[in-house]
Every structure is written in structure tokens, then in C-alpha cells.
């Protein structure tokens, strides 16, 4: 049996988790194993969202100790679920939470964990390709163990449905209480505001030094809203106080897998490239034709960011009005 950890987004299964489910189904079909899923603290109808993707059973981990996120408690609970179900492999999306959860579970169960994979092939051992050095290097490796744990980088797999659909059985799993176990607790929450999440947005419009100021992000925000996307930024914009760190795309920020990434006035240093290289299509707008991101982008417009965006917004508004 294979188990995939699913995360919730807006009451349903997140896109990154559906990629992990697709990959796990490929592994399960290649080895003749059943595919199960597990969720912590879920509130939406995840079973309905998984019925089209080959999952036969959803395990809801429920207890007072796991209602709020704690990597140590969730990791120990997952290790207990692994022993309870007898699974031979566990997958999750390579999000901050997915990596942290699997790392703690692997340590608790004394089993191997490979993070940030971009490809996993069935067999014993698993043959996988994973990102190293923040995504600059790719490593071919083998993963062997009684239970194999791996996380999949969002944007690595195209989401696909199973050939057949069926109702997903839902089972509650109550882990043993661990009141005395040292663990992290959430002491405060900061709302990210309304709108699309940067990590899951299909379109991301980012600004860097070339935007010029915090006020210079106004056309980027309008374009992102018109395209149903999210606004990001480079580390320079964060360091200058123009945007919060939660908007930063890069090695020390968010790694995106958008369908379209529009980089406005961003030179594209290595640490930023690591965050945006998972995008399917990259459009760079820059006054410097020699900027690294201009050279790496699928499309580039050489010109002033504000002038180019002004023309783009005029055209998008006109098309929306005509529609």
C-alpha cells in the first residue's frame, strides 16, 4: 500500500497535493499496490476531491493534539499511521509543511526520506531525480527501505485523473496521546489577505528593483487581479521594504510553479531563478537586454516596466470590456 499526504486549500485538495497523488498513483500502478491518502486537521470534503484520482481510502488523523499544526506531533502521528496501515511508501508535496512533516515522520520511524524530488519511478528501490543546491543541481538517486518517504516538487507532474472513479472510504485514525512530548506550538497567525496564494497561483506577476518603489507595484497588482493571479517580488523589493517577505519569490522565499510568470524589472540572480524556474512560461520585462532572467525567459520585452505595463493593461482592459 502507498500513502499520500494531502493538504487542504480553499476547502479542497491543493493542486500541489493532486500532483503528489498523480505521482503516487503512477507508483502504485507500477507495483500493484493500493493507493491511500491521509489528511490532518481537514475541514473540507477532501474525499470527494480525491475520488477521481485513484485513491481508495482517506485516513483522517483526528485528535486534540493534531488539530493545530505541530511538526513533531504530526510527524509522530504519521509514523504511527504508517505502522498501523503497513504502507511501504509515503509521498507528499514538497511544500514547507510537506517536507517538515515527512522529515519528522521519517526520524520517528527511523526510515529514509528523499525531499524535493522531480521524478520518481516504481521499483525496489525507487529510482528518483531530486533537486539539490536549492534547485540548481539535479541528482539521480535510489531510495530503499522498509518504508520509503519522498516529497515531490510542485510543478513536476501534470495532474491527471484515473481511468475509473469510485467512492473513497473515509477512516478516522486517532493517534496515541503525546502530551509530554516536546513540540512546537502556534502562538500567532498572520493573515495573508484575500486573493490567490503565491505558491498555487496559475499566474504570478513579480516586481524587482526596476519597479522603483512600493507605489510602483500598483500596475502589477492590477494586472495580477485582471489575470486572476498573485503578486510576487524579488529579494531587493523585500529588502527595500516595498513588499513583505511573504511575497518574495526565490530560494529564501516561495518557489512557484505557475503557468505564466511575468518578471518586471528583475535581473534574475541565481537565488531568484531557483524560485521561478518551475514556471511553465516566463515573460521578462527589463531595460537591460543582458539581464540573466531576460536570457533565460521564454519571452522578453526590453523597455521601461511602467511604460510596458501601461500598454499591457490598456489592452487587457479593452479585451475584458469587449468580452
Find out whether 266 is annotated in a ligand binding site: yes
Find out whether 252 is annotated in a ligand binding site: yes
Least Cα distance to 119 among 98, 138, 144, 100 occurs for 138
Find out whether 104 is annotated in a ligand binding site: no
Beta-carbon contacts of 185 under 8 Å, excluding residues fewer than 6 positions away, are 68, 70
Count the neighbouring beta carbons within 10 Å of the beta carbon of residue 259.
Answer: 13
Find out whether 270 is annotated in a ligand binding site: yes
Beta-carbon contacts of 136 under 8 Å, excluding residues fewer than 6 positions away, are 270, 274
Quick one: cell of 188?
500567532
Find out whether 135 is annotated in a ligand binding site: no
Find out whether 25 is annotated in a ligand binding site: no
Find out whether 319 is annotated in a ligand binding site: no
Q: Cell 477532501 appears where?
A: 46
Find out whether 296 is annotated in a ligand binding site: no
The string of DSSP codes covering 120-183 is EE-SSSEEEEEEEGGGTEEEEEEE-SSSEEEEE-TTSS-----SS--PPEEEEE-PPP-TTS--
Find out whether 184 is annotated in a ligand binding site: no
Find out whether 267 is annotated in a ligand binding site: yes
Helices marked H in the chain = 15-31, 46-50, 71-85, 96-109, 218-226, 235-239, 270-276, 292-296, 305-322
Burial of 112 (0-12, 13-18, 19+ CB in 10 A): middle
Q: How far apart are CA 125 and CA 146, in angstroms?
A: 10
Find out whether 268 is annotated in a ligand binding site: yes
Q: How far apart are CA 267 and CA 86, in angstroms?
A: 49
Find out whether 28 is annotated in a ligand binding site: no
Least Cα distance to 126 among 136, 140, 107, 137 occurs for 140
Find out whether 203 is annotated in a ligand binding site: no
Helix (H) or strand (E) holding 73: helix 71-85
Quick one: cell of 50?
480525491
Find out whether 192 is annotated in a ligand binding site: no
Find out whether 306 is annotated in a ligand binding site: no
- Contact at 8 Å (CB) between 3 and 82? yes
- Contact at 8 Å (CB) between 103 and 90? no
**Residues annotated in a binding site for FAD:** 209, 234-235, 248-252, 265-272, 286
**Residues annotated in a binding site:** 209, 234-235, 248-252, 265-272, 286
Amino acid at each position: 500500500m502507498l500513502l499520500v499526504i494531502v493538504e487542504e486549500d480553499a476547502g479542497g485538495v491543493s493542486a500541489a497535493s493532486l500532483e503528489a497523488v498523480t505521482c503516487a498513483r503512477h507508483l502504485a500502478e507500477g507495483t500493484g499496490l493500493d493507493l491511500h491518502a491521509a489528511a490532518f486537521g481537514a475541514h473540507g470534503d477532501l474525499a470527494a476531491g480525491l475520488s477521481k484520482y485513484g485513491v481508495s481510502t482517506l485516513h483522517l488523523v483526528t485528535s486534540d493534539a493534531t488539530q493545530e499544526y505541530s511538526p513533531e506531533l504530526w510527524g509522530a502521528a504519521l509514523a504511527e499511521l504508517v505502522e498501523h496501515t503497513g504502507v511501504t511508501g509515503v509521498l507528499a508535496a514538497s511544500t514547507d509543511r510537506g517536507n517538515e512533516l515527512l522529515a519528522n515522520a521519517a526520524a520517528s520511524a527511523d526510515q529514509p526520506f528523499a525531499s524535493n524530488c522531480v521524478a520518481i519511478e516504481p521499483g525496489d528501490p525507487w529510482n528518483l531525480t531530486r533537486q539539490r543546491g536549492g534547485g540548481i543541481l539535479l541528482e539521480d538517486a535510489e531510495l530503499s527501505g522498509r518504508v520509503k518517504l519522498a516529497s515531490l516538487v510542485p510543478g513536476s507532474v501534470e495532474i491527471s485523473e484515473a481511468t475509473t472513479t469510485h467512492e473513497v472510504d473515509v477512516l478516522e485514525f486517532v493517534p496515541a496521546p503525546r502530551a509530554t512530548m516536546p513540540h512546537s506550538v502556534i502562538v500567532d497567525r498572520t493573515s495573508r489577505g484575500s486573493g490567490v496564494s503565491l505558491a498555487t497561483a496559475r499566474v504570478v506577476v513579480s516586481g524587482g528593483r526596476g519597479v522603483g518603489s512600493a507605489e510602483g507595484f500598483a500596475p502589477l497588482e492590477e494586472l495580477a487581479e485582471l489575470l486572476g493571479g498573485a503578486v510576487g517580488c524579488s529579494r531587493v523589493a523585500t529588502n527595500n521594504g516595498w513588499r513583505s517577505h511573504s511575497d518574495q519569490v526565490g530560494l529564501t522565499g516561495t518557489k512557484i510553479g505557475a503557468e505564466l510568470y511575468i518578471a518586471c524589472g528583475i535581473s534574475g540572480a541565481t537565488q531568484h531563478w531557483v524560485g521561478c524556474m518551475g514556471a511553465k512560461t516566463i515573460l521578462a520585462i527589463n531595460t537591460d537586454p543582458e539581464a540573466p532572467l531576460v536570457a533565460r525567459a521564454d519571452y522578453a520585452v526590453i523597455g521601461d516596466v511602467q511604460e510596458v505595463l501601461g500598454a499591457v493593461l490598456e489592452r487587457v482592459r479593452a479585451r475584458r470590456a469587449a468580452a
